[in-house]
């Protein structure tokens, strides 16, 4: 099946060709014909599966271009508003269908000017409600889209959304709802605003999920920084996003990584819009390799070629996990999601695994010598394939007046190795083969707690904010048992040949 099978108008098909899209994604295959046939729809598909085009293309196709606002797309964040308008602009530009982007933090007058000229308005709920309630704009769109509906409700926009629908005059409108997850609140909202909707549900196997490998590493609480740096050294990500839970953590981690020589930028909710745009642009253009971000800031963020997503801490809930890891593996590419968990968090990761129906694999963090030797192999291969330049020959000739050729080679290799020195201790975290035992212990300790009538933990509020307190509370008990285990752990097992599932270590053998 190709996009041509939808029989879209010529200028739109042309824009699809220019974008380089050939095959429609699963959600596009199902949603586009239903929308073209005039249905309201409620569509569930994970992030990165092409939902924007799924509603954007049929909507643009059915517009008359009469100069009124025919399409209204409501999205949770400013970043997403910009992104979705970019994508819709791309498909609509050959048809002369203009797009206006509407969000808080900027001048009303300019936005109102743009809205007057636009066929499609992409807006965040707060500002849109402001404009409508203040009587500054009137809208009666033929199409209304709620994009990332679950995010909007999570962010507390239910009232704004309900209010917005009071202002929309057109009773004949076609309403389209898109969401990565379908919690009960979403279904309730759908019942209110949709008319005889058709359901599109893309099962997990078909979504990009399968292109994202999901691994987790078990580390002690204090080892997170070291573990992260080691994994970045080892995986060498082209572009990666590291998720933290709090702004404070984002700032601290970013300065730590900067001090380790990485090119880092941050994204969090307290940043001014201008700063956010600059940061995102820098990341997109490749000036920055590592983005350290909070959940809120990174919602829906669409940056191509993110090879790795790191969860410095586990997210609070399964939905956030799905959204976070959806930043990689976009547009049909493969990606890797890596989560750092402490032994205490093993139960939570098992719960998320069950919730999202994913297969997460536990792995051991490569030791310093393993990373060194894999870097060495890379260097040898690189040297062997480097072309010799005239200029280099001159330099070696000059050096040869002082030292012999072998010494020069040694010095050059040392110079390169010096720059890519692997920092940190030899071994970090728990070996993968010990994790099952840790998990059993975590389960047992929960049963233990339940028996004593204490709440079982594992619910979102407690694991997150009361962490340090409950850690301290448990200290006494944990100290007299697992110690011995901790000692037995990796030290003398020397790690060799244990990571046979990893292609990289094969190189050494
Ligand atoms: P979602 O809203 O589901 O998270 P997006 O609409 O942001 O996903 O799409 C993710 C990425 O995939 C975008 O960069 C988009 O341009 C690209 N994309 C969407 N549909 C296709 C397609 N049919 N073929 C190739 N790339 C696509
Ligand atoms: Mg989207």
Do 408 and 459 meet the contact criterion of CB atoms below 8 Å apart? no
- Ligand 1 atom with the smallest distance to the CA of 47 is 4
For ligand 1, mutation pick of 26, 331, 335 (most atoms within 8 Å of CB): 331
Ligand 2: centre distance to CA 15 (Å): 19
Which of 64-78, 185-199, 432-446 shows the lowest per-residue confidence on average (mean pLDDT)? Answer: 432-446
Which of 4-13, 309-318, 392-401, 489-498 shows the lowest per-residue confidence on average (mean pLDDT)? Answer: 489-498
Ligand 2: centre distance to CA 146 (Å): 10
46 C-beta closer than 6 A to ligand 1: no
User: With 80 as the cut, is the pLDDT of residue 210 above it?
Assistant: no
Query: Mean pLDDT across the stretch 354-367?
Result: 87
- Of all residues in the chain, the percent with pLDDT exceeding 70 is 85
Sign of CA dihedral 51, 52, 58, 62: positive
pLDDT of the residue at 277: 86
CA distances from 156 to 76, 125, 134, 466 (A): 10, 10, 21, 23
76 C-beta closer than 6 A to ligand 1: no
User: With 80 as the cut, is the pLDDT of residue 26 above it?
Assistant: yes
330 pLDDT tier (thresholds 50, 70, 90) = confident
79 pLDDT tier (thresholds 50, 70, 90) = confident
Sign of CA dihedral 99, 102, 106, 111: positive
Ligand 2: centre distance to CA 403 (Å): 61
User: pLDDT for 90-114, tens place per residue?
Assistant: 999 999 899 999 999 889 999 999 9
Ligand 1: centre distance to CA 478 (Å): 47
Do 159 and 130 meet the contact criterion of CB atoms below 8 Å apart? no
User: pLDDT for 147-157, tens place per residue?
Assistant: 999 889 988 99
pLDDT of the residue at 166: 93
pLDDT of the residue at 319: 76
The helix (H) or strand (E) run that includes residue 335 is strand 335-341
- Of all residues in the chain, the percent with pLDDT exceeding 90 is 54
Distance CA 276, CA 282 (A): 10
Do 260 and 246 meet the contact criterion of CB atoms below 8 Å apart? no
446 pLDDT tier (thresholds 50, 70, 90) = low
For ligand 1, mutation pick of 15, 28, 43, 50 (most atoms within 8 Å of CB): 50
203 pLDDT tier (thresholds 50, 70, 90) = low
Ligand 2: centre distance to CA 165 (Å): 21
Ligand 1: centre distance to CA 30 (Å): 15
pLDDT of the residue at 429: 93
490 pLDDT tier (thresholds 50, 70, 90) = very low
- Ligand 1 atom with the smallest distance to the CA of 180 is 3
SS3 294: strand
Average pLDDT over the chain, rounded to an integer: 83
Query: Mean pLDDT across the stretch 1-13?
Result: 94
Which of 177-191, 225-239, 298-312, 492-506 shows the lowest per-residue confidence on average (mean pLDDT)? Answer: 492-506
Is the model more confident about 424 or about 488?
A: 424
Closest CA to 232 of 328, 287, 298, 308: 308
Query: Mean pLDDT across the stretch 318-339?
Result: 86
Query: Mean pLDDT across the stretch 41-68?
Result: 92
Is the model more confident about 441 or about 94?
A: 94
User: pLDDT for 242-272, tens place per residue?
Assistant: 999 888 999 999 999 999 989 999 998 888 8
- Ligand 1 atom with the smallest distance to the CA of 49 is 3
Query: Mean pLDDT across the stretch 409-428?
Result: 88
Give the CA angle between residues 268, 348, 429 to the nearest 5°. 80
Query: Mean pLDDT across the stretch 17-44?
Result: 92
pLDDT of the residue at 301: 81
Q: Which two tokens stand for residue 150?
A: 């679950």
Query: Mean pLDDT across the stretch 351-361?
Result: 81
Which pTM was predicted?
A: 0.55
Nearest CA to ligand 1 atom 22: 21
Ligand 2: centre distance to CA 28 (Å): 12
User: pLDDT for 381-406, tens place per residue?
Assistant: 989 999 999 999 999 999 999 899 99
489 pLDDT tier (thresholds 50, 70, 90) = very low
User: With 70 as the cut, is the pLDDT of residue 28 above it?
Assistant: yes
207 C-beta closer than 6 A to ligand 1: no
pLDDT of the residue at 418: 83
Q: CB count, 10 Å around CB of 415?
A: 9
pLDDT of the residue at 290: 95
User: pLDDT for 275-288, tens place per residue?
Assistant: 888 999 899 888 88
pLDDT of the residue at 304: 81
User: With 90 as the cut, is the pLDDT of residue 121 above it?
Assistant: yes
Domains and CATH numbers, the chain: 3-206 (3.40.50.300), 368-419 (no CATH)
């Amino acid at each position: 099946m190709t996009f041509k099978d939808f029989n879209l108008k010529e200028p739109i098909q042309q824009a699809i060709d220019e974008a380089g899209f050939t095959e429609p994604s699963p959600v596009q295959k199902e949603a586009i014909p239903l929308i073209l046939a005039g249905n309201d729809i409620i569509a569930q598909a994970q992030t990165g599966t092409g939902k924007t085009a799924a509603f954007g293309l049929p909507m643009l196709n059915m517009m008359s271009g009469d100069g009124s606002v025919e399409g209204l797309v409501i999205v949770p964040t400013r970043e997403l508003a910009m992104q979705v308008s970019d994508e819709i602009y791309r498909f609509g530009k050959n048809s002369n269908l203009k797009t206006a982007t509407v969000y808080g933090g900027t001048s009303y007058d300019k936005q109102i000017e743009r809205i007057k000229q636009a066929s499609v308005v992409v807006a965040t709920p707060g500002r849109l409600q402001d404009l409508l309630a203040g009587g500054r704009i009137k809208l009666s769109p033929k199409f209304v889209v709620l994009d990332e509906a679950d995010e909007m409700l999570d962010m507390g926009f239910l009232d704004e959304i309900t209010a917005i629908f009071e202002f929309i005059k057109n009773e004949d409108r076609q309403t389209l709802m898109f969401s990565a997850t379908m919690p009960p609140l979403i279904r309730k909202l759908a019942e209110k605003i949709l008319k005889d909707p058709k359901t599109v549900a893309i099962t997990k196997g078909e979504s990009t999920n399968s292109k994202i490998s999901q691994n987790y590493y078990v580390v002690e609480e204090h080892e997170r920084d070291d573990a992260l740096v080691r994994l970045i050294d080892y995986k060498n990500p082209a572009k990666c996003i590291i998720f933290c839970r709090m702004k404070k953590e984002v700032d601290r981690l970013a300065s730590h990584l900067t001090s380790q020589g990485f090119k880092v930028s941050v994204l969090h909710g307290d940043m001014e819009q201008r700063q956010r745009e600059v940061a995102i642009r820098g990341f997109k253009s490749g000036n920055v390799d590592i983005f350290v971000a909070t959940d809120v800031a990174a919602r829906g963020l669409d940056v191509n070629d993110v090879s790795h997503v790191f969860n410095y801490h586990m997210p609070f809930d399964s939905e956030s996990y799905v959204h976070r890891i959806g930043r990689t593996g976009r547009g049909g590419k493969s990606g890797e999601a890596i989560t750092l968990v402490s032994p205490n968090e093993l139960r939570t990761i098992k719960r998320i695994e069950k919730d999202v129906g994913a297969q997460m694999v536990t792995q051991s963090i490569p030791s310093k010598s393993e990373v060194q030797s894999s870097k060495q192999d890379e260097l040898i291969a690189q040297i062997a394939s480097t072309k010799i330049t005239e200029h280099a020959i001159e330099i070696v000739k000059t050096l040869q007046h002082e030292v012999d050729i072998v010494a020069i080679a040694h010095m050059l290799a040392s110079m390169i190795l010096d720059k890519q020195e692997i920092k940190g201790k030899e071994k970090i975290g728990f070996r993968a083969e010990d994790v099952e035992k840790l998990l059993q212990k975590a389960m047992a300790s929960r049963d233990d707690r339940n028996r004593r009538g204490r709440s079982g933990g594992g619910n979102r509020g407690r694991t997150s904010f009361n962490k340090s307190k409950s850690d301290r509370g448990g200290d006494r008990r944990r100290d007299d048992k697992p110690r011995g285990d901790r000692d037995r752990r990796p030290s003398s097992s020397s790690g060799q040949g244990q990571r046979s599932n990893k292609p990289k270590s094969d190189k050494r053998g």
